[in-house]
Structure 1
C-alpha cells in the first residue's frame, strides 16, 4: 500500500462504506428534471414591485439630462430613480484586486450611471411598478439626452497616442501593467538557436448560462434579504454591506437553484445592489429579472486577449524560454475581480513544459465595452491555447513530430517548482498522453487520413489535434492569493459544518455554493463514508448566508479540493467524537474503533458495534458521556490549503473540413484527464462533457462582436452561435489517477479542465487537416467563412 496509502486508510480517507468512488446518481436531479426546483424568478412575495432598467444606447457619452416625468406619470408606476437619487450609497462597487507595487486604475462604478456612460447597455435609470409589463413600457418613456463622445473598441487602438480617453481622470486607457517572471529570459533568447513568434487572438465570449441573472430584495425590520442567481452569496453579503453602508449581520443573501454560472455569476452586479436599495427606499420587495438580451449585453464577458508569444528553443527541440505579452481588453469598468483574471494566464503560460525561463507581461486596457471577467477557466484557457498552438507551430518549424516535441519537454519530477515560483504538486503527463493515444490509434488514423486526401472526388480533409494541459485551481491558498501575495483582498479558505441529528440523520452546511456541479451528491458521499451511513441520509445545505459558517463560495474549481476537504475534515471531527462515545459505551479504546459496513465497531470484534443513530442518541441524551466530552455531534472546519492543486490531461480532437465550404465537423473527441481519485466518476464525466462543449463553442461558433460604434452585434442567440447537441460528438473519456498531496482526499478540480484543454486541440486539428493546402494558422472562431478564406489565401 505504501506509507501514504497506509496513512490514508488509517484516517478513513476514503473508506467506511465505500460510497466514495462510485458513480451514484445525483441527489439533486429529481427536483431539477421534474421542474420542482425553485429559481429566483419563481419567487413571489406579496406587494412586489418589478424593476425595468433604462439602458444606454450609446457606447460613450455624457448624460446631459434625464426626464422621468412621463414614465413616472403612468398608471401603476411606483417610482423612477436615476443615479443622482442614489447619493446615499456608501460606496461604488469595490474592486478587490490590489496587487502590491502595481498601480491599477479603478473608476467609480455605480449601479446607475452618474454623468457619463461607457458602454452600450449601462444602466441609467430604473422604473418600479406593480406590473412587470407596464414597467417595461414606462421605461421607454424615460427621456435621456446624451452628448456622444468618441468610441474605442479595439484595445490596441485604445493604447495608441490620440485615442479617445474613456476615463479622463487617469489620462490613459491603460488599466495596469503587471509582470510575472522567473529565470533569465533575455539570456535564453539571446542564446537560442530558434525563436518562434506568433500573435494569438483569444476572442471575447459570453457565459450564456441557461438562467439569466435575477434578484429579489426584501427589506423588513431594518434587515435585508436578497435572493440572487449568484455563485457567491457569502461574498455578496460582504460587498452589499460595503455598498449599502449597513452592518453585515443585517443582510441575508440566498442563492436558490442557480441555472448555471460558468463564472458569469461570480459578481455583485449593479442590479443586485439596485434592487436592494430600491427595496429599502420604497419599503416593498423589488424584483428584477434579466431578459436574454439584457444578459448578453450586461453580464460580464470573458477572454478577449491578444497574446504576443515568443518561444526560445534549440534546434534539437529543447524548450528554453517563453515570453508572452498579453493585451487584455477590460471593458470600460471593473466589477469585483475584473483586472485580476488575465494574471491567471501567467500561472500556467508555460504549460506542461520544462522551460528554464518564463515571463508574462500583462497590460489591461479600457475600451467602450462591457466588463470582462471570469468565464469558465478564467485566464487559464487562454494560456493553454497560446502554448499549445505555438508548440505545434514550433514543431513544424523544427521539423520534429508534434507529439515528440511535447514528450522531449514534459516536466517529469514532482512536486516541481517552476521558474516563476509556482509549485506543481503532482503530474504524469506521459501517462495521460499514452492513454489518449491508445484510445485514438494514431497509426490507424494516419492511414485513413491519407486515403481521404488521395480521393479527388471528396474535398474533405481530416485532421487530428492534440492538447496537453495543466491547470492551476483549488483557490486558495490565502497566503498566495491574499493581500500580501497576489493582492486579493480576502481569504481563500473554505468552511463546512457537519451536524448529526438526534435520530442519526446528518446535515452538512457547506460554504461553497454549487450551481450544477453535483456537490450535494459528492459531499454526501464523502460524509457517508466517514460516518457509516448512506448518502441518502445526508442532507447538504448551501447558498444561504444565514445557515452554516461563512464560506468563500464556488469558482476556480475549488469546491471539492477546498470545500470537499473542509467537509471531510468536519466529518472526521464528528467521527473522532463518535468513536470516543462508542469506545466508552463498549469499554474499548477509541483507537480500536473503526467505521465499517455501516457501523462503528471494535476492530477484530465486529459483533461489538453501534450505528450512528445509536451514537447520536447517546450524544444528545448525555447521561453517560466520557468525562470532559460535551453533548452533541456537531463540528465545523475551516480549511485553507498550503498550495493550489494542478490537474492535467491530454485531449485529442479529430475533425473533417470541407474545403469547398470551410465547414468544420468534429467527428471524434478523446479526453483523458487526471483530477486525482474520483469521488463520483459520473460527475466527472458530466463536467468534462460540459467543459469540452464550452470550448467547442468558442473555437468554432461563439463570438461576442462589437462594431466600431460600440454596438453589440451578437447580442441574441440568433447571432451568438452556441453549439447544440447536433454540433458536438460523443465524447470518449478516460482518466489517470495521480493524487494531489495538497489535500487528504487527493482530489483536484475538474469543472474547468476540459474548457482549458479543448480549444487548441480543435485549432491544431483543423491546421493538421489543411496542411496539404498550405494553411498554417487561423484564429478562433473557426467559422466556415474564416476557414474558407484561409484556404483561398493559402492558394494564392
Structure 2
C-alpha cells in the first residue's frame, strides 16, 4: 500500500464549497409551509411562574400558535432525560423543554410562538402577559455552597449536588517530608463559546409516514436522536437527525437543548415544519457556558524545587441544571496531575448549582482550568525558591523513560489514567529554543527603551484524546469507481471530509478527488457518539482505516479470481488492482464494484458477499495523550495597562499527523480561544443573577488585530493505542494558553509585581499593578 496522502498538508476539500457560499446550514433550510419559532424566556434568575396569558398575542398578525408545556401533554411531559447520567446524581437535574413552574436562570424558555416569520413571532412575545414571583437567587458559587445560602431550586436541600474526589498516593506523608509547602487560591472566570453560527433547529413530520426529521446545528446528532426518541416514547428508527454544515461548535453544541425538544414537539403538534434560529442575545442567555471555578490548593516540593504533591479543593459553578451530568468537573479532576510526576495528590471538587445558565464543556472541557492551576503552582514554586520556571518543570515532569506512565488518576468511567508516549522535556526544550529564550533579556531591554514592559510566559500541558467507546465508518466503492466514506462523526469545521478522505485514499490507492465523505446523518449511518474531546481523528480515523483495509482485502480477493492469479501477487495503485511486475494485467476497482453489484442469473465469486463495501468500528479502550509546551511574549503599555501578545510559539505532539495544515489550524484556533480567556472574555452577572454582558459591546472577543503570528513545531510520537498512531489535536492549543499568557504578564511586571491568581485580567488591573510596583 502506497502512502500518498497521510501526513501531507492537503488543502481542505470542504473549503471551495464553503468559501464560495455553497454551505448548507440550518438557517438555509426552507420547507413548504414552514413556521418560525421564537421563545418567551425568563427575565429573572429565580422565580415561580404565576400566570402566562397569551390571549392578546394569539390575535397578532402572522401568529399561528402559542405553546406552553401543557399544550404538549398528549405526546410528552416532564424534564428532559440526562445526556450523561452519573451515579452521584440520584435524580436527574434537567429542565423541561418549556418550564411551567419554577424558573432557575435568566433565559430559561417558558413559551414559544409560531408565526409566518421570525419578526412576527418576536413581536408576539412582547404581548404575552407573564407574571413571575421573584425568589432569592444563588448567583455566586462560593456563596451558594454555604449551608444557609439561597437555594437554586426550591425542591433541593443543598446547592452542592456532588463532591468528586481524585486521590493518589499518601498525600499526608508527601507533605510531611516536603522541604517546602505553598498555598494559593485561583479563579477562572465564566465565558461562552461564541461560534460564528448560533444554534438552530428545524423539525418536520413526514406527510405520509410517522418519521420525524430534525436538522440541528449540533456536535451530537446521534445523542439528539437517542434522547428525543426516549422522551417521545418512539423507536429511534422513526427519527432522523441531521447536522448539516455547522459553523463552529466548541463544546456547547454537544449538549441536547430544550429548544431542540420544543421545536420537535411543536412540529408534531401543529403538523407544519418549524424553524428556530438562535439570535446572538439568546446565545449569551441560553447557550451553556464554562469556567467559573475557585481552587484553593497547596503544593509540596523538595529543596530542589521538584513538585511532589498537590492537595486542595475546588468550587465548581454548574449553573442551574446538569444536562451534561458531571462531565465538566469530572474532566477537570481527571486532568491531574498534568505533565507532572507527582508522588501524591488529593483533590476534591464541590459541584454547586447556581441560578445562572448551565455550564458544560467549552473547548478544553475543564482541562484549561486544571492546566492553569498546575502551571501557576509551578511558577509559584519557582518564584518562592528563586529558580527558573523551566527548571521547576524539568525537575517535575514525567520523563520519556517512564512511559507508559500511570498517573494514579481515573477517567470518568473509573478506568486508570496512563499516558501512552511522549517526551515532555523535549517539547519544553523546543519551544524555548524557538522563541529564543536566551535572547529574551535583550528584547526586554529594547522594549523598556520604548517605554514598554515585556514578559515571557511558559506553560505545558497533557491532553487526553480519543475518548471511547467508539465511532464507526463505512467505506464503499461505487460501480463508477468513486469511494464513499460514511460516518456518524459530525464536523463543525475540523476538516473531517479531508482527513478521512486521505486515510481512505491511501488504503485503496485512489486519487483524493475520487473520495467523498458523508457524515452526521442518522439516516445514512446507524451509530455515532459525538464530536467532542478531541476524539474523532483517533476513533473515526481508525474506523475508516479498518473499513478501507477490509475493502482493499476484498478487492484483492475478487481481482485474484477475475485475473486467475494468487492474492499475494496483486497490488492496488491508481484505482487499479494489478499483478506486480506485469503491466497491463489489471482490473479496476470500478469493475470489481460492478461485479459485486450483481446481475440477474450471474453468480458472484465464491466466498464473497455482495457490494465492494465494509464497515469498521474502532473501540477506543485506552486514551491517546497529546502534549505540548507553549511560550509567548506579552508587551504591556504601563500607562494604559493594555497587554498585547506579540509572539507565540508552540511545540506540540499529537502523534502521527494526518494533515499538518489542518492540525496547525486547530492549534491556532485553540490558542486564540485561550488568549480570549486570558485577556478579554468575562461573563458578568449582578447579585440577582442578571447577566450584564449580553452584547459584544460588553463582552469582548479577540479579533485578528489582537492576534500574533503563531509559530508551531511538531513532534511526532505515534500512539501505540490505535492502528494509525494518532492523537487528537482539537483542544491542545487552548489548554495551556491562558496560563502561558498570564505567566508572561506576571513576568513583565517583574519580581516586585504580584503573583497572578486569576483570569481574565483587564487593562485596569494591569495598570494598578504597574502603579503599585512604581511606589
TM-score in terms of structure 1 length: 0.93
Match in the other structure for 2:516: 539
Match in the other structure for 2:404: 415
> Is 1:434–2:421 an aligned residue pair?
no
Match in the other structure for 1:482: none
Question: How far apart are residue 320 of structure 1 and its match?
Answer: 1.4
Match in the other structure for 2:636: 657
TM-score in terms of structure 2 length: 0.96
Distance 2:8 2:214 in 1: 37
Match in the other structure for 1:717: 696
Match in the other structure for 1:135: 121
Match in the other structure for 1:38: 24
Cα shift readout 1:139-178 (whole Å, capped 9, x = no counterpart): 1011111110111211010012321112232211111111
Contact 2:138/2:355 (8 A) holds in 1: yes
Count of residues paired in the alignment: 762
Secondary structure at 1:790 match in 2: helix
1:391 to 348, 354, 378: 378
Question: How far apart are residue 407 of structure 1 and its match?
Answer: 0.9
Question: How far apart are residue 607 of structure 1 and its match?
Answer: 5.3
Cα shift readout 1:480-523 (whole Å, capped 9, x = no counterpart): xxxxxxxxxxxx21110111101211111011001100010010
Secondary structure at 1:163 match in 2: coil
Question: How far apart are residue 186 of structure 1 and its match?
Answer: 1.9
Match in the other structure for 1:222: 210
Contact 2:36/2:118 (8 A) holds in 1: yes
Contact 2:83/2:223 (8 A) holds in 1: no
Secondary structure at 1:738 match in 2: coil
Question: How far apart are residue 621 of structure 1 and its match?
Answer: 4.5
Question: How far apart are residue 452 of structure 1 and its match?
Answer: 3.7
Secondary structure at 1:646 match in 2: strand
Distance 1:173 1:575 in 2: 56
Change (3 A) 1:618 1:105: closer
Distance 1:136 1:564 in 2: 44
CA RMSD of aligned residues (A): 1.7
> Is 1:293–2:281 an aligned residue pair?
yes
Match in the other structure for 1:64: 50
Cα shift readout 1:575-630 (whole Å, capped 9, x = no counterpart): 11111112223333323433345543344556544332233233334757542112
Match in the other structure for 1:74: 60
Match in the other structure for 2:413: none
> Is 1:378–2:365 an aligned residue pair?
yes
Secondary structure at 1:322 match in 2: strand
> Is 1:340–2:327 an aligned residue pair?
yes
Distance 1:192 1:390 in 2: 15
Distance 2:743 2:583 in 1: 58
2:464 to 468, 472, 479: 472
> Is 1:508–2:466 an aligned residue pair?
no
Contact 2:26/2:217 (8 A) holds in 1: yes
Question: How far apart are residue 87 of structure 1 and its match?
Answer: 2.9
Change (3 A) 1:247 1:631: closer
1:179 to 154, 161, 165: 165
> Is 1:572–2:543 an aligned residue pair?
no
Distance 1:69 1:462 in 2: 63
Contact 2:337/2:407 (8 A) holds in 1: no
Contact 1:666/1:729 (8 A) holds in 2: yes
> Is 1:611–2:588 an aligned residue pair?
yes
Q: How does 1:76-475 map to 2 (within 5 A)?
A: 76-88=62-74, 89-100=76-87, 102-103=88-89, 106-220=92-206, 221-335=209-323, 337-412=324-399, 413-420=402-409, 421-453=416-448, 455=449, 458-475=450-467
Secondary structure at 2:16 match in 1: helix
Match in the other structure for 1:590: 567
> Is 1:736–2:723 an aligned residue pair?
no
Cα shift readout 1:610-658 (whole Å, capped 9, x = no counterpart): 3322332333347575421122111111111120110011111111111
Change (3 A) 1:714 1:760: same
Contact 2:305/2:385 (8 A) holds in 1: yes
Contact 1:17/1:597 (8 A) holds in 2: no
Question: How far apart are residue 356 of structure 1 and its match?
Answer: 1.1
Runs of at least 5 residues in structure 2 that lack an aligned partner in the other structure: 410-415
Deviation >6 Å, runs of 4+: none
Distance 1:195 1:771 in 2: 23
Question: How far apart are residue 728 of structure 1 and its match?
Answer: 0.3
Secondary structure at 2:725 match in 1: coil
Secondary structure at 1:647 match in 2: strand
Contact 1:356/1:419 (8 A) holds in 2: no
Secondary structure at 1:756 match in 2: coil
Contact 2:144/2:150 (8 A) holds in 1: yes
Distance 1:779 1:116 in 2: 34
Cα shift readout 1:696-732 (whole Å, capped 9, x = no counterpart): 1111101111111211111111111111100000111
Secondary structure at 1:588 match in 2: coil
Secondary structure at 2:272 match in 1: coil
Change (3 A) 1:90 1:65: closer
Distance 2:333 2:746 in 1: 26
Cα shift readout 1:337-385 (whole Å, capped 9, x = no counterpart): 1422111112222111111112221111011100000101101111111
Secondary structure at 2:189 match in 1: strand
Distance 1:645 1:409 in 2: 21
Match in the other structure for 1:757: 736
Distance 2:136 2:116 in 1: 39
Change (3 A) 1:653 1:167: same
Match in the other structure for 1:702: 681
Cα shift readout 1:155-211 (whole Å, capped 9, x = no counterpart): 010012321112232211111111121111122112221112111111111010001
Distance 2:571 2:185 in 1: 59
